[in-house]
Structure 1
Amino acid sequence: MARPLPSPVLDDAPLAPGLYVVATPIGNLRDISLRALDVLAGCDFVLCEDTRVSGKLLSLFGLSKKLERYDEHAAERTRPKVMAALAEGGRVALISDAGTPLVSDPGYRLVREAAEAGHRVYPIPGASALLAGLSVAGLPTDRFLFAGFPPPKSAARRTFLEEVAGIRATLVFFEGGSRLADSLADMAVVLGDREAVVCRELTKLYETVVRGPLSQLAADPQFTAPKGELVILVGPGREQEATAADADTALADALTRLKPAEAAAEVAKALGLSRRDLYKRALALKDRG
């Protein structure tokens, strides 16, 4: 039987009433925050996906608390009970099996309903596989899109990928080990052979971060059927250079509103083309029209 981890001295000040959205470790248990432990110790009860998983976590930190199941199957029947507790001034903690709640986990309806009813909702930040993956990927982080889990079937997955292919940002996906290779192969076809990263077992003993083109990662034998859930990060596609036809279309539209010099400046900024060349083309289009 696992021995409880040594706990720091907890803040014994009473919690204010409200709903607490509490991040828990994604692997390494030392990633739990002191504030998270304060909330879990001081709340009236804990909402969790799996009472066995969360019970083990609390036990390791020497905590004992009433656990209520809150997942996609139990949410509808549990939510009224939670709202009633909040209405009476209760303090409720929402956690997931691992990481930050509401990131590909249930909970947003509860948060919305609690806020609409006038109850305080407190974020207790901490571990997140999404942000951990971004931090080590070496891909642009100024803009990113978290797309969650792709559909399990290839046809639906490719349609899903086509919808995000044109977004100029790093794309972040979660995926199960049994579908990883197929998903990587579909990504290579739909998104092109972009630079990508696969993160596995983040913060755990056998943490691996593998970088390379999507086609190379799809063919990597270590990703045939790894265990657990993984994070896939795909870099932005290369921006295609605007064609002469693109420039003419944009100039024709701009000339309906602006003088040639102003139209050339607007289109040059939008398409990354030469302002001087666009001004000459704008004059030619205006003379023709």
Structure 2
Amino acid sequence: MEDGSMARKRPWDVRLSLYTWTKGLASGLYLVGGALLLLGDLGPDHPLWRWQIPLLALFFLVLTAGLLVSELGHPERFYKVLLGRPQSWLTRGAYLLTAFGGLLGLHLLVSLLDWTGLYPLLAGLGLPLALMNAAYTAYLFRQVGSTSLWLSPLLPLSLGVQAVALGAATLLLLHPATLPAWLLPTAALAHLGLVLLEIGRQGPGFVEALARGERLALRLGAGLPLLGLLAPWLKGMSALAFLAGLLAYAHFLAQAGQAKDPSLGEGWRDPDARW
């Protein structure tokens, strides 16, 4: 039996953790890259913006879609999701993923045709779309589960901050000179602040009630990103620690959020139920 006082039933495995992380990476790359372009810190002719950001974002978005299809259990279910109820956040999320993928494809076409004048428009459209892609998982979690962790009002903001941090850490690895020195340390502080607020909101005994693996993932997810404070000096090492830490935190969020919370009564909704 697992550690902790709460009985657990986990319909979703580690693929849910990876899904949250890869989606955050895809969204964060375009969020940070688009913001840097609009602020004038990244030139429209820079290969990072023209090719590397959209290609990497598309790569992680395809991984995200693959994890989603795999988690659904049958590939044909993805079509059911697309044709599902508009009220379902699984269906809305599939629309958002498709729209974001279309925008990334359009970005690559614009780069191929050298229509650089369209880049500000793409960035302006891409920023809110990328942010919605990062944050919609919070509303999906709220819809399919009733644990207090997944019902948290802090969750959409937390996923948005994580996406920015993931994008910033990846860009620090790709092109350190492009990233403002303050961005990753600020993201580290914001992430830690939200983690502490969430633990405080959950109340006494929350950490002790977690399974051993969840406690470890939480500690890694809160501790490793603190190396982002040293990003101006450690650079790549700091970025790698941040990426690993946010993967650990995604695992904590995905797995601990599936614990049945007796105080909320209903516990879990069946993920195979009607969407």
TM-score under structure 1 normalisation? 0.24
TM-score under structure 2 normalisation? 0.25
Which structure has more helix as a fraction of its residues?
2
Which structure has more strand as a fraction of its residues?
1
Higher relative contact order (CA 8 A, sep 6+): 2
